[in-house]
Structure 1
Amino acid sequence: MSSSSLRIALVDPSAFTPPYDHALCAALARAGADVELVTSRFAYGAVPRGQGYAVTESFYRIAPGAAGSRLRMAAKLAQHVPDMLRLRRHLRASRADVAHFQWLTVQPLDVHLLPRRLPVVLTAHDVLPREPRPGQLDAQRRLYERVDAIVVHSEHGAARLRGELRVDPAKVHVIPHGALDQFVPAGGPSAAPPRPLPPELAAVGREKPVVLCFGLLRPYKGVDVLLEAWRGIDDAELWVVGLPKMDVAPLHALAPPNVRFVSRFVADDEIAAFFDRADLVVLPYREIDQSGVLFTALAFGKPLLLSSVGGFPEVAATGAAALVPPGDAPALHTALRDLLADPAARTRLGAAARAAADGPYSWDGIAQQTLALYESLQ
């Protein structure tokens, strides 16, 4: 079956639809596939619509109770089985050729609820859950046995699947995460952002370098290590931007005066302003496979300073990033100081980042790899 006749259902039941989903759907549609994004009601407003593919909101993540509460969890679980059964009926009616899941959030149930009679692909954005509930790890392994193919974004992740989890190597396919260039203004990375910075950040003069740590705040992201490393760096600003998914009071207590926090959800049209202003993007993660923040920085051609974890060294091999050992605050401090003192080094990293975004991490190439996988399953 040719890619022009494939009907693809890309399924993401998570609480909000990541930009990865929209970028992949758009690239598959440009390559000639008939693509539908099947997703949830968006937690922060209407689900974004793209060009060239349909969007269906089949999962209902509106639930009572406070975030993280037992009431909220019980309500979501009660919704989940009807949601998955509705999805199976929808896929039959739409005559999809492939169902490509981006997340499966209730693994012990999902292994029994996946659609039948069509190929199922699962993207392993996280090879295993980082904060697993009882029984979740074993259920994740059973899911890998149940699906027809697994996409992973790095050779590091593929090695874990094949070795640590003993997944059939024939099922494992390394397809990169793409550069998230949908956040870049139409005129390019240097064009005016569609929405300005918050006033308290816009007041920072261009003469002072800004280091950006962006994304949801979680313990594994090593922000505490970054704040320790930042001590003694007085001639620049550190901006920690993103919605907290942890107690941030200890982080505020660690922070020197030249650290600014924007602790909230950041809308898509705000992202460009933060990356436009950044002179260096730092991701001091303790663990990861790959990161959407990293691929946003690539799209903006920003120099990167990364922990040497997961698939990060594979991106650094393109010349787009410097690496430090994870959890090593002194090494991170030295690398920050060196890069802040060397604009030419930052320029070289940034140029390599933009080249990587246009080359191995371009969406059109990723779409071709993904379509070849779908075709192999027919």
Structure 2
Amino acid sequence: MAERNPRIALIEPVGGHGGMNYYDYGLANGLYHNGVEVYYYTCDETDKIYEDKVKTYLYYRKIYNKSINKFRRLLLFVFGAIRSLTHAKVNKIKTAHIHLFGVEPIDFLHIFLIKLFGFKLTATVHDVESFYLSDKDKWYRNKALNWIDKFIVHNEICKKELLESTTVEVSDISVIKHGNYLPFVEPLLSKEEAGKQLGMPTDKINLLFFGQIKTVKGLDVLLNSLKYLSAEERSKINLIIAGKVWKDTFANYQQIIDENDLNEVCITRIEYIPDEEVHLFYSLADFVVLPYKKIYQSGVLLMSMSYQKPVIVSDLPAMVDIIKDEENGYVFKTNDTQSLAATISKVIANPQRSGDIAQAAIDTVSNEFDWKLIGKKTTEVYHSIL
């Protein structure tokens, strides 16, 4: 018989190092409200919250400290995993929950250790594309996936691709939405105050490109679209680009800026944006642009909507699954610079419409992406393997 109120080990080493702590604590809070006792094991860069609801253990220590050589960091990772699993075992926990962004050798090792300790295992798959591995790498990926009892993906697109790229059985996959960021957003400041703190202008319509900068995020599409705006339209906007480059180089984007005479339009902060500044950028923004070329689920999209900011998104399936054009956001054709330019022209011409769009956006994330509902569905997954 399944336990009525199971204890769960949420084992997620990234935590506060890469922004996964928002997702982790959102899920943990949703599980708490469904009678699940959550033990959260993560890295030492994570600030503890919900201490009355979630037991947090920072056992993955110094694993991201680049002053330590890679071999020692690997040993620290293994030590953190063993310490976490031992603690969970002592506390009579039977089920572990991890996140997967692929199955690299370190993920294989992590999953092996979890199963070696005898836990039932649920995995939320965030990045299905990484499962399309070369043949020589598939043996360890398939072995690791065979050790996982249940999989969670965030939409039907991910489910379809996971089935196509792996040997996972359809009966082992549950589709459960990514939760909103409403529990974590800080109150917005006035645009003027945010601009003052960031040292950025407030006298124009501010378009925001926020988050990790990598090829599939389509920043080049956004920059190239601006050349199709009239001189008058360009004089009315600023494009704020804020985020860290990942497996890419900003020189490629700077070249587009230079070649199209966009230096007066673009304001850049090409670095990791600390948590305490996130609300400043959203306070400064009038619209958030997500010109992605490929995506399975966007945390930036849900964060933008949680901050009640109107979004402009490409018409990828994962985006239009959430955004309805001119209802709770704006949609343009993926990779089509002229389509994006036309959408930007539309919002420039009628910025007052953004208030209704933003309200519809926050209604969407409040009603459809609530963590308590997600916690209920995730609890059902746990019960199915206990």
Please report the TM-score for the alignment, with normalisation by the length of structure 2.
0.84
Superposition deviation, residue 183 in structure 1: 3.4
Partner of 1:21: 24
Matched, 1:211 2:207: yes
Partner of 1:5: 5
Superposition deviation, residue 371 in structure 1: 1.2
Structure 2: distance between partners of 1:222 and 1:258: 18
Q: 1:249 to 1:48 in 2, by over 3 A?
A: farther
Aligned-residue CA RMSD in angstroms? 2.9
DSSP 3-state at the match of 1:54:
strand
Partner of 1:163: 164
Structure 2: distance between partners of 1:74 and 1:134: 27
Superposition deviation, residue 56 in structure 1: 0.6
Structure 2: distance between partners of 1:80 and 1:62: 6
CA contact (8 A) 1:208 1:236 kept: yes
Partner of 2:235: 234
Matched, 1:94 2:91: yes
Aligned residue identity for 1:353: A
Q: 1:236 to 1:134 in 2, by over 3 A?
A: farther
Partner of 1:343: 351
1:1-378 alignment, distance < 5 Å? 5-14=5-14, 15-16=17-18, 18=20, 19-42=22-45, 46-51=46-51, 52-62=53-63, 65=66, 72-103=69-100, 106-115=106-115, 116-129=117-130, 138-185=139-186, 191-192=188-189, 197=194, 199=196, 201=198, 203-205=200-202, 207-231=203-227, 232=229, 233-245=234-246, 246-255=248-257, 256=262, 257-317=264-324, 319-378=327-386
Structure 2: distance between partners of 1:221 and 1:314: 18
CA contact (8 A) 2:95 2:122 kept: yes
Structure 2: distance between partners of 1:293 and 1:316: 13
Superposition deviation, residue 81 in structure 1: 3.2
CA contact (8 A) 1:289 1:311 kept: yes
CA contact (8 A) 2:11 2:41 kept: yes
DSSP 3-state at the match of 2:321:
helix
DSSP 3-state at the match of 2:118:
coil
Superposition deviation, residue 229 in structure 1: 1.3
Structure 2: distance between partners of 1:224 and 1:8: 42
Q: Which moved more, 1:223-232 or 1:148-157?
A: 223-232
Aligned residue identity for 1:343: P
Sequence identity, in percent?
23
CA contact (8 A) 2:194 2:283 kept: no
Structure 1: distance between partners of 2:166 and 2:134: 18
**Structure 1 unaligned blocks of 5 or more:** none
DSSP 3-state at the match of 1:315:
coil
Q: 1:17 to 1:274 in 2, by over 3 A?
A: closer
Superposition deviation, residue 3 in structure 1: 7.6
Superposition deviation, residue 8 in structure 1: 1.2
DSSP 3-state at the match of 2:189:
coil
Q: 1:50 to 1:64 in 2, by over 3 A?
A: closer
Structure 2: distance between partners of 1:354 and 1:7: 32
Equivalenced residues, count: 365
Superposition deviation, residue 344 in structure 1: 4.9
Please report the TM-score for the alignment, with normalisation by the length of structure 1.
0.86
**Structure 2 unaligned blocks of 5 or more:** none
Q: 1:203 to 1:118 in 2, by over 3 A?
A: closer
DSSP 3-state at the match of 1:151:
strand
Aligned residue identity for 1:50: Y
